Structure 1
Amino acid sequence: MPSLLSINNYHYRRGGSDGVYLDHAALMEGLGWRNGFFSMHHPENLPTPWSRYFIDELEFGQAYSLTQKLSMATKSVYSFEAQRKLRSLLRDFEPDVAHLHGIYHHHSPSILPVLTGAGIPVVMTAHDLKIACPNYKMFNRTGVCERCRDGSVLNVIRNRCVRDSLTASVIVAAESGLQRSMQTYRKHVTKVVVPSRFYLEMFVEWGWPREQFTYVPNYVDASRFTPSFEPGDYFLYFGRLAPEKGIATLMRAARLAGVKLKIAGSGPMEAELQALQGELHGDTQFLGFQTGEALHALVRGARAVVLPSEWYENAPLSALESFALGKPLIGARIGGIAETIDESENGWTFASKDIAGLTQLLSMVQTMPDSRVAQAGRAARALVEQRFNPEGYANAMLALYSSLGVKTSSTGLASQERDK
């Protein structure tokens, strides 16, 4: 029976990458793999016997003493605690492969040499751009930023790229400078999984060897989503309320198009966006954070879901989930968003930050016959069933692990389903 060690900062569904971490392990377990986990203690963690190996909670932004903050800053750059606890775990669990998701700022890359020193192949899913960009999203208060590609990581400090904070930017610059000088990721990550082709090409442009990457798109299990193809009377954005998400652009375009907009989410821009709504007097409703069936009902009731991003999005699960629920997507042409949209078939795209272009699309979809919008929703649902499904993901991962010398089962998920 092959064994998998999954590593991530959080052991609960805090965000999309955490969901992938948990779903990936569950998928492998369904294929007969033994699972081990290495994460961080947190009050919201799911129960697991592996928690005895987890590192201490490390949450930036909380009320800590100066001594605690200094200790946290040191750990985020290089964590001896994470190394020690990982070695303890490896004495009790011998994985055939380690699969990393989010580790920076908590475990730190210091754990990578521990894994390779034990002869364990290391796979890392690049949920963001951290292995290239110190602040992980190539975006700061000036907009999209690639200054560190050919320049010093000191750009992070000059531009206060991390939370617009000098202190946080200094810490992250130190961590990134150390890892660049040691080439920790390049030396100790055997393969990097990228969910979008855009990210693969971006990493290559930043000097990474192409052969270190493999493209495996994210997936959703469409059988867990009940679709509704009947178009509603509003457009929907759901996700984090943050500057890089382009929500202000969407609000302005919705006002100009005269359409109804619903926004589900929370984040640092919430008060600012509420104030903008007061200025625009548009038909926009803020619904706060939504999840589970309540969120699904909102998506099913929409005419279309909008992703107006202004940063290099990877492969947002929100797009696939919207498709699974039978809704077409209006997405900005930036990052990997357009890779999921077949223009005029299951959605429509516009140039990122282009208020006029988005206004035109919102007006077009608003006045489009309901039958045509429903047709796009059916095409969206079909796409996730055919291209972004658990079987394809599982089989791609098994092929990857096998290429690293791991003895995997000869049958994938699709074969097991047929045998039931």
Structure 2
Amino acid sequence: MPTLLSINNYYYRRGGAEVVFLEQNRLFEKVGWRVVPFAMHHPKNIRVPWSKYFVNEIEFGENYSTWEKLARIPKVIYSVEARRKLNQLLNDVAPDISHIHNIYHHISPSVFGVLKQHGVPVVLTLHDLKLACPAYSMFTHDGICERCKKKKLYNIVIHRCVKRSVLLSSIVMVEAILHKLLRSYENNVDRFVVPSLFYLEKMVEWGWERRRFVHIPNFVDVERLRPNFKVGKVFLFYGRLSPEKGIITFIKASALAKVPVRIVGTGPQEDVLRELAARTGADIIFLGYLNGEALFDAVRSARTVVLPSEWYENAPMSVMEAYALGKPVIGARIGGILELIREGETGVTFQNGSVESLAAALRRFADMPDAKLADMGRQGRAWMESDFTAERYRERLLKLYSDIGVIS
């Protein structure tokens, strides 16, 4: 029975990366693999016997004392604890391969060297742009940002890219410099998995060798996500309420187009967005945080899902979930979103950041016959069923593992 060592900061459904991480674990257990998780302790974690090896919790933004903050800084940059705990785990378990998801600022890239010393092949999925951008998003106070290109990492402090904090930005800059000097990624990661071709090309543009990357799209559980092709009235956004998501543009556009909107989610921009909705007179209801069937029912009852992002999205799960649930998508022309919308067939795109362009798309969908929208939903669903199933995802990963010498 082959063993997969699966590594991620969190061991609960916190965001899109955690959904992929946990579902990937389930997929491999389903075909007889033993999956051993390595993560950070957290109150919301799924209970698992392997948690005795987990590292202690670190959370940015928590109300730690000054001494507690100082004690955590080295762990964010290079976690000796994570190396020690992982070494203990590897002395007890001999995995055939390790697959890493998000470890930055918590477990840290310090674990790569331990895996190398134990002869465990390493695959790292890029859920964000951290490999190039120390702040992971290539988005700052004035929009899209690629100022750190050509090793100009001081820009992260100048522009306070991490939570608008000079201290946190400085810590992340030091982390990036250290791991570049140590060549943590270059020397220890066998393959990088990228869910979007856009991210692959962006990494190559920033100087990485193309051969190090493998494009493996994300997947959706088409069996669980039952579609509803009945066309609703409201235009739905769901996700984190933060500047890079472009929700200000969406609210202004919805007021201009005079269409009903529902917004699902919470985040740092919520108060600003509520005030803007009231000031513009937009027909908007904020539904707060929803998950599971409550979230999926909100999608099923919508006319369309809107993704107004203004940063380099990777391969947004919200687009794929919308299709699986039978809904077309209106998406911004930026990042990996373009790869997931077949123009005029499964949805439409608009110029990112443009209120007028998005308003025109909203009006177009408001006026479009329900039969046409239902057909778009069906085409999106069929696309997910043919190319983005869990089985296809597992097949692609198994081929990758085989290519680097793992026998399943």
**TM norm structure 2:** 0.99
Counterpart in the other structure of 1:292: 292
Q: Which amino acid is the alignment partner of residue 277 of structure 1?
A: A
Deviations 1:151-190 (A, max 9, x none): 4211000000111111110110110111112221111111
Q: Does 1:270 align with 2:302?
A: no
Q: Does 1:185 align with 2:185?
A: yes
Deviations 1:126-173 (A, max 9, x none): 000001100000001010000111242110000001111111101101
Counterpart in the other structure of 1:250: 250
- Measured after TM superposition, the shift of residue 350 of structure 1 is 0.8
Number of residue-to-residue matches in the alignment: 408
Q: Does 1:325 align with 2:297?
A: no
Counterpart in the other structure of 1:114: 114
Distance in 2 between residues matched to 1:324 and 1:244, nearest whole Å:
25
Q: Does 1:63 align with 2:50?
A: no
Structure 1: gaps spanning 5 or more residues: 409-420
Residue 123 of structure 1 aligns to a residue whose secondary structure is: strand
Residue 109 of structure 1 aligns to a residue whose secondary structure is: coil
Distance in 2 between residues matched to 1:325 and 1:180, nearest whole Å:
42
- Measured after TM superposition, the shift of residue 277 of structure 1 is 1.1
* 1:367-378 paired onto structure 2 within 5 Å: 367-378=367-378
- Measured after TM superposition, the shift of residue 276 of structure 1 is 0.6
Residue 241 of structure 1 aligns to a residue whose secondary structure is: coil
Counterpart in the other structure of 2:103: 103
- Measured after TM superposition, the shift of residue 62 of structure 1 is 1.2
Distance in 1 between residues matched to 2:215 and 2:53, nearest whole Å:
31
- Measured after TM superposition, the shift of residue 48 of structure 1 is 0.3
Residue 9 of structure 1 aligns to a residue whose secondary structure is: coil
Deviations 1:262-311 (A, max 9, x none): 00000000001011112101101111111111111110111000000000
Counterpart in the other structure of 1:84: 84
Q: Does 1:131 align with 2:131?
A: yes
Deviations 1:3-30 (A, max 9, x none): 1000000000011101111111111111
Distance in 1 between residues matched to 2:180 and 2:215, nearest whole Å:
24
Deviations 1:189-214 (A, max 9, x none): 11000000000000000000000000
* 1:162-311 paired onto structure 2 within 5 Å: 162-311=162-311
- Measured after TM superposition, the shift of residue 404 of structure 1 is 0.9
Residue 353 of structure 2 aligns to a residue whose secondary structure is: coil
- Measured after TM superposition, the shift of residue 249 of structure 1 is 0.2
Residue 123 of structure 2 aligns to a residue whose secondary structure is: strand
Residue 282 of structure 2 aligns to a residue whose secondary structure is: coil
Residue 236 of structure 2 aligns to a residue whose secondary structure is: strand
**TM norm structure 1:** 0.96
Counterpart in the other structure of 1:418: none
Counterpart in the other structure of 1:20: 20
Residue 253 of structure 2 aligns to a residue whose secondary structure is: helix
Q: Does 1:40 align with 2:55?
A: no
Distance in 2 between residues matched to 1:71 and 1:208, nearest whole Å:
34
Deviations 1:347-377 (A, max 9, x none): 0001110111111110011001110010000
Q: Which amino acid is the alignment partner of residue 362 of structure 2?
A: L
Deviations 1:377-400 (A, max 9, x none): 000111100111112101000000
- Measured after TM superposition, the shift of residue 117 of structure 1 is 1.1
- Measured after TM superposition, the shift of residue 407 of structure 1 is 0.5
- Measured after TM superposition, the shift of residue 67 of structure 1 is 1.5
- Measured after TM superposition, the shift of residue 65 of structure 1 is 1.7
Distance in 2 between residues matched to 1:45 and 1:18, nearest whole Å:
11
Moved over 6 A (4+): none
Identity %: 51
Distance in 1 between residues matched to 2:242 and 2:195, nearest whole Å:
22
Distance in 2 between residues matched to 1:140 and 1:370, nearest whole Å:
39
Residue 26 of structure 2 aligns to a residue whose secondary structure is: helix
Residue 348 of structure 2 aligns to a residue whose secondary structure is: strand
Q: Does 1:158 align with 2:166?
A: no
Distance in 2 between residues matched to 1:294 and 1:45, nearest whole Å:
21
Q: Which amino acid is the alignment partner of residue 71 of structure 1?
A: A
Distance in 2 between residues matched to 1:94 and 1:397, nearest whole Å:
20
Distance in 2 between residues matched to 1:380 and 1:86, nearest whole Å:
42
